Amino acid sequence: MSPVEVITSVQRRRHWTAEQKRALVEEAEQPGMSISLVARKYEVHPNQLFRWRKLMQDGALVAAGAEDQVVPLSEVKALKVKIRELERLLGKKTMEVEILKDAIEIAREKKLISRVPLLTKDDTP
């Protein structure tokens, strides 16, 4: 008969730091080692090590190790869409300003707009 493990308390999830995850993945990549061996050694599910390895290849653990905030991809995409829309609006407004500047210059050349400020009712000459 194989031994039976009886759990009498609530098991909590373990939290691994980015450095610990990197060390486990690097250990699994050593010659003669495998994901399964390292997973058994540290009592981690092999799928977890495969996931960490993929994250490491994608550079996610670098951001976590540098204590940078990791933002979901959906949020990044939404922000990029918003930036493109704001850039489009800014370009449109910039073009409108340039058109208005040209119109003012043309009007001044034709003497339609005086360069002297307009006098108010109280400022009689």
Say how far apart CA 28 and CA 25 lie, in whole Å.
5
Task: Write the pLDDT tens digit of every residue in 39-85.
Answer: 999 988 999 999 988 888 877 656 555 556 667 788 889 999 999 99
Main-chain dihedrals φ then ψ at residue 79, nearest 5 degrees: -65, -35
Instruction: Tokens 């061996």: give the residue.
Output: 37
Q: Is-above-0.85 flag for pTM?
A: no
CB-facing half-sphere around the CA of 52: CA atoms within 13 A = 26
Task: Write the pLDDT tens digit of every residue in 89-99.
Answer: 999 999 999 99
